Structure formats: structure tokens, C-alpha cells
Structure 1
């Protein structure tokens, strides 16, 4: 079994692994300026997409421009979520170098799509493939590839619940249950974005987030929470509802939340998600609504999670000049994105007017980062010390 990494090795984003030149595991993009895509020309027989985030499936339609189009395998939620993000990429960057596919390519996704449930073994490019719950977002999957001689496990992004006896509050995400799948494998390709980072227990982080938000609201401020449309928006809505914090929700996260509600078997607590949606007020964006909301003493959960577009581009400049206001980052900020830039500057630094579409001004409003639980402390004790590297 020969593996070729076309992206995602030594970097965060554009994950793509080619197995024996015929089976492609993920085909994502790397957010930034400019957007980056997997390297090289590929013509796989089949593609398996681990989950719907852009960095793992955002470039899949670009594989469908030729006459020989690969079959695309994924779970039903991943299919729907990936297509939503692809439509958004086309809307924002269609016809430019930032988007390597067309409307016709996106339409073809439906023609080659093959959805599968967890635990279902299927054939792809001559391999036996099985998907297992990865506990990352609804529909996320570990991918087990078996050629008869070697069993390869591609983890994709994943989450493992902590032992609730060791933490206060929830031991894992509220949206999806953590992965419990442990399929036997000879070789593992493991997601490692936070492999060398130990975050505080999930319950503690959630409690600090809630207390920070409440403090800002008590002081009369506005809290903007930039959040990824898939997974993080729904998670923040669940957290707000659990802590009796009213909020607005804006951007693509609204549509994605409705997709998640269509798949109750892929979320931890469908009733809790329903209550969280009821706790949040949806923003339409009509008639200057966003600017009026930005002046309120409230919480706004909005895309884009890295401040690279979306309604956040209205809210962030609107709240920037009041020290009592706060921007609460809840996800990884890729280098080269506005979110990374803002997160890296000091309070006295000047924001870019070009990037934030605002008059250059010091950023008196506060910004903080609330991270999820690292996989490092969960996974390291479970790695068998006697395990050896395998030559492929």
C-alpha cells in the first residue's frame, strides 16, 4: 500500500491522502489569502470524505470536471453539509482562481454521490471501506481501508469524550458524542492539529466562556462569537441554552443547523438541539438589522469562524470602538486569516481597514479564545507502547 500526501502534512488544511494512486481520502482546501488546494493532478477511481468541513471536503467538486468522474463516498450528513459549503465557495469566488470548480461540477456531485451509514462496509476503488463515528461533527467518520493485506485507518478529525468523573460539567461536546470506535488497523494516519497542546477540561472551558459572556453582558457590552457554520455554531447555541444565555444566530450556521436537525441519529441529544434553536433568534440581515443588533446588549453567534467573510464582517467593525465589547474566538485560527491576525495583535494594535472594512482604529474591544479539549491527553495513554511502525 503506497500513500501520497497531497496536503495536510505539516500544515493545517487541504487534507488529501492518495492510496495507491486510486483511492483518495479527503480533498480539502486551506483557508487563507490566497486559498490553497491539494498539490498535483489526481485522477482517482473513488473518493471517501471523512466529514463536511472545508479543509477536508471543500475541493471535491474540482475532481468532477473531466469525463471520468470518481465515485464520492460519505455519510448522509457529510454529503449535505459539504454541498452547502461548496455552494458558498462558488457564490463567493466562482470564476476566480479562489474556486477551482464550476456550477456544473457542483451539480455533478449528486450524480456520483454514495452515502453510507456507520459500520457499513462498501467497495471503493477495489478496497473494502468502513466508516466509524469520529465524534467531531454530525456525520464525521474514521475511514478504515482494507486491501486484504493491510488495514489502514484514516482518523480524520475526531473527538473523544473525557471521563466525566475527571471533569466538571460535560465530558465532551454537546452536539455529538465522542468516538468510541477502535477498529483494528496495521497503519494509522492520525489528525494532529492539537497533538502537542493540552487544553483544560471541557467543562471548565465552557464554564469560563459562560462567565465571560455574562460579565460582558452585565457591563452593558456586546459579545460577537465568530463560529464555523458546521459544528461550532450548533455547539455554541447548545452552550448558550444550557447556561440560560439568550443569543442571536446569523450566517450560514442557520442553514447548517437545520440540516443537523434532519439527522437526529447523528447528534447526541436531538431534543437539546431543538431547545437551543428555540433559544436563539435568527437574523435575516434585512433593512440594516445587523447594525441595530450590534448596538444591543446581547450575544451574536455568526460566521465566518476565522473572520474571512460572512456577517461577522459587519458585526466586528461595528463593536470595535467600545472597550466593554468582546469578540470570543471558539475555534482554530489558520495563519493568514483575519481571525489569526486579530487574535495575534495586542489591544493597542491597529486593525487593517482593507481586511475588516472599517476605518483604521485601535481595537479597544476585548478578544479571547475559548478552545475545545485537546486530543493529546485523551489519546496518548491509549497508544500501545509496544506498537511498532509499519513499512507500507
Structure 2
């Protein structure tokens, strides 16, 4: 196998790995202004998508612009999530050069796609491919690629610990080479029970003091996790943004979540915001948690809620995930100010951040890789891939961190 890294090498975002020019693993984008896409749009026979997040699936429709359109393989939830993301991308950037695909190309997904369950072997681009549950979000998959002589395991994003929404991965398929994500390879997550307890205590204190807690959350995975936490701790909450549609959609795929009954209780516990800014401004005065997109304050209903609650120090902005450098969420954490709808706003409300990551931390990645001690490991999807590869080599692994646009022979 000849591997070429078109994105996601020594960076987080725009994952894209080409296998022998015929099979593409993921085709995502790197969120930002402007968004960044893989360095090349190839013409593979097939594309296999590990999961439905922007950085892995966000640019897939762009592959369908030519006459020879690749088959698109993914799990059922990933199919639905990728469409939701593509619709949002068209809404935000559809009339600008920043969007790499058109609505026509998005509609072609219906003809090109093939859906597969975990454990199902299928043919893609001349290879035998199998999905295994990666424990990251509903429908996320490790991708095992077999050409008859060599097997490649592409981990995609994964988590080894249980979350409320999904169980951690237990899959360790045999492989001759592993491409492993390393997003949190230099981090040790706090125990999830502890993080949840701190979050609940601080939100409850905010509400007891008469304040409002705005909880920016990624629409896919994180919003549902936060609704499950709010229901478990009996925190009154509203949900707004794209996360509403995703929550409703996941009810159709109970086999891809850890506890479908718990998710239904969480959905019933939350109040879904149905109106526009007028209703949102009224809700911003409630003693409740408001779980809303976007998770990094770069758009969505958060743009209405934050200005409404920012001046009162009794209120809180409760960030639930990593804030990419250059985003308003990162700016808020570092400076106490954020650019909201083109205006720099000082935020007097308390700002907190909690680690609800859906990625394995250093210990989790090492535990996963312990099954592959005699297997070459290619480290990608991280800010410090080279350092983690060096750490793996020091531990006895054959490990390297491919550069962007580099090739690797298996």
C-alpha cells in the first residue's frame, strides 16, 4: 500500500488519507475563517468516512463534482450527520469561494452512498473494509483496510472510556500498520464523574444565585452528552441550534448509542427552543442551562445568548470542549473578551471550561496501542504528532509522524 497524507498530518482538522490513489480515508475541513480543506481533491474509486464531524466528513460532497464519482461508505448515523453538516456549510458559505461544493453535489450523495454496520465486511475501491465501533460519537468507526496481503487500521477519532452517550471502544483488530489519532496524546483527562460533578455543582450554583448558564456545545455528540448530564443531575435546561436536529435523529439509531432510553429521557427533560431571537432573549433571562451551538462561539444561537447574559457576573459561560486557536471561544478564555457578530465584547459573566472530550487521552491511546506493540504506528491528527511519535519510539514502538503531502509505503 502507498499512503499519501492530504490533510490531518501534524495538525487537527481536514483529515484525508489516500491509499494507492484508489481509496480515500476521510475528507474533512479545518474550521476557521476562512475554512481550510485538504491540499488536493483526488479522484478515488471510493471514500470511506470514519465519522460525522466536520474535520473528517465536512468536504465529502466536493468529491462528487466530476463524472467519475466515488462510492461513499459510512455508517448510518455518519451518513445523516454528514448531510446535516453539509447543509450547514452551504448555509454559511454556499455563495462564496469558501465552500468547495454545491447543493447539486450534496444531493448526489444519495446516489453515491452505501451504509454499513459495525463488523460488516464490504468492498471499497478494490479493498475489503470493515468498521469497528470507535467509541467517539454515535456511528464513529475504526476502519480496517485489507488488500489481501496487508491490513491497515485507521483509528479515526476514538475514546477508550465510556461516555453517557456512547461506550468506549473495545475493538482491537489485527493489523500490519496503524494510523493513530493523537489529539490528546499529551493530556490526562480528569475522571468523567469528577468533571460532571464539578459542572453540575457550578451550574446549580449559578441558577441558585439567580443567573443563567450558557453552555456552548458541539452539535454532534457534545450537545447530547450535556443533555444527558443535565437530566441526570436534574438541571433545568433548554437546547438550541443544530444539536436539536441531531438529538432527534439519533433516536432513530438506538443501536448506535449506549442507552437509548436515557437519551429519550434527556430529550424529554430538555426544552427545545423553537422560536427566533425574540424567544432567545426571553430564555436568556431564565434560571436554566442553555445548551447551544456553536461550541467555539463561532456562530449559531450562541451569538444571541452571549450578548444577552454577558454583562451580569452572576451568569456563566460554560465551555464544554477544546477551543481552537483563533476562535472566539479561545479568545474569551484568554482575554475575557470575544468577537461576537463582528463586535469585540467584554464578558463580565463568569467563564468556565470543562473537559468533556470524546477523545482518548494519553493513557487511553497507550492502552489502545498496547495491542500493537510490534506494529508500525503512524501518528496523525494532533498538534504534537512528532513528540508523541518520539515518545512511542522511546517505549519500543516503530513510530513516525508523517508530514502533510508525504507518502508512506506499507
Classify the TM-score, shorter chain: over 0.9
Question: Residue in 2 aligned with 1:262?
Answer: 252
Indicate which of 201, 208, 211 corresponds to 1:218. Answer: 208
Please give the residue correspondences for 1:12-91 in structure 2 after superposition, counting only pairs within 5 Å. 12-91=12-91
Per-residue Cα deviation, 1:38-80 (whole angstroms, up to 9, x for no partner): 0023111100000111110000000101101000000011001
Deviation, structure 1 residue 336? 2.1
TM-score by length of 1: 0.93
Supply the distance in 1 between the matched residues of 2:85 and 2:373 (Cα, whole angstroms): 42
Supply the distance in 2 between the matched residues of 1:145 and 1:138 (Cα, whole angstroms): 21
Supply the distance in 1 between the matched residues of 2:178 and 2:322 (Cα, whole angstroms): 24
Indicate which of 338, 341, 346 corresponds to 1:362. Answer: 346
Question: Residue in 2 aligned with 1:321?
Answer: 311
Kindly report structure 1 stretches of 4+ aligned residues shifted beyond 3 Å: 355-358, 381-386
- Work out whether residues 172 and 368 of structure 2, in 8 Å CA contact, stay in contact via their aligned partners in 1: no
Question: Residue in 2 aligned with 1:377?
Answer: 363
CA spacing shift, 1:4–1:334, aligned 2, 3 Å:
same
Deviation, structure 1 residue 148? 1.3
Q: Greater relative contact order: 1 or 2 (C-alpha under 8 angstroms, separation 6 or more)?
A: 2
Deviation, structure 1 residue 273? 0.5
- Work out whether residues 165 and 224 of structure 2, in 8 Å CA contact, stay in contact via their aligned partners in 1: yes
Question: Residue in 2 aligned with 1:164?
Answer: none
Work out whether 1:306 is the aligned partner of 2:296. yes
CA spacing shift, 1:297–1:9, aligned 2, 3 Å:
same
Per-residue Cα deviation, 1:165-210 (whole angstroms, up to 9, x for no partner): xxxxxxx210111111110111111111111111111111111111
Per-residue Cα deviation, 1:13-39 (whole angstroms, up to 9, x for no partner): 111111111100000011011100000
> Any idea what SS the aligned residue of 1:383 has?
helix
Question: Residue in 1 aligned with 2:338?
Answer: 351
The root-mean-square deviation of aligned C-alpha atoms, in Å, is 1.5
Deviation, structure 1 residue 388? 4.8
Supply the distance in 2 between the matched residues of 1:366 and 1:221 (Cα, whole angstroms): 10
- Work out whether residues 317 and 357 of structure 1, in 8 Å CA contact, stay in contact via their aligned partners in 2: no
Supply the distance in 2 between the matched residues of 1:26 and 1:215 (Cα, whole angstroms): 42
Supply the distance in 1 between the matched residues of 2:133 and 2:322 (Cα, whole angstroms): 22
Indicate which of 324, 341, 347 corresponds to 2:331. Answer: 341
TM-score by length of 2: 0.89
Deviation, structure 1 residue 379? 2.9
> Any idea what SS the aligned residue of 2:40 has?
coil
Question: Residue in 1 aligned with 2:121?
Answer: 121
Indicate which of 169, 185, 188 corresponds to 1:179. Answer: 169
Supply the distance in 1 between the matched residues of 2:123 and 2:375 (Cα, whole angstroms): 28
Work out whether 1:280 is the aligned partner of 2:280. no
Structure 1, unpaired ranges of 5+: 162-171
Work out whether 1:295 is the aligned partner of 2:282. no
- Work out whether residues 218 and 293 of structure 2, in 8 Å CA contact, stay in contact via their aligned partners in 1: yes
